[in-house]
Amino acid sequence: MLFINSFCFALIGFIIWWFWLYKPKEAITNDEATAIIVKDGVYTPSRIKVAADTPTTLTFLRQDKSGCSASLLIPDFEISQELTLDKPTHIDIPAIPKGEYEFHCQMQMYKGVLIVE
């Protein structure tokens, strides 16, 4: 009984950390060689910096077989794109003003932020 209670408390602690306390890594600057990896429930990197008022291309590489990882939504730009497993998918982003724009999967389990400066 003690083992089960300890396991449950550890699991609850992990869930709290994963959904509320996890701090994402610093944003990286997007360039042509940067691929956003879709794997293990996260986008890596999840915070991408791009220049304002300049069109850019984001490259996503899906390595996760889960169904949730198959789609990418960027609601602010009305972009909905299917990601092919183990093949790069290029997403063209128009010239946009400064701000932060979220991108995510259809269920919002995978999340990322496009930081425009």
Which domains does the chain carry? 26-116 (2.60.40.420)
Residues 6+ apart with CB under 8 A from 95: 52, 53, 54, 55
Give yes or no for residue 41 having a pLDDT over 80: yes
Q: What pLDDT shows up at residue 14? A: 86
Q: What pLDDT shows up at residue 33? A: 60
Report the pLDDT averaged over residues 48-55: 90
Report the pLDDT averaged over residues 87-105: 93
Most confident stretch, 12-21, 31-40, 46-55, 74-83: 74-83
Phi, psi of 100 (to 5 degrees): -120, 130
Q: Residue 60: which pLDDT band, with cuts at 50, 70 and 90?
A: very high
Residue 114: C-alpha distances to residues 5, 34, 49, 103 (Å): 41, 14, 6, 7
Using alpha carbons, select from 111, 109, 78 the residue that is nearest to residue 93. Answer: 78
Would you call 21 helix, strand, or coil by DSSP? helix
Report the pLDDT averaged over residues 50-75: 91
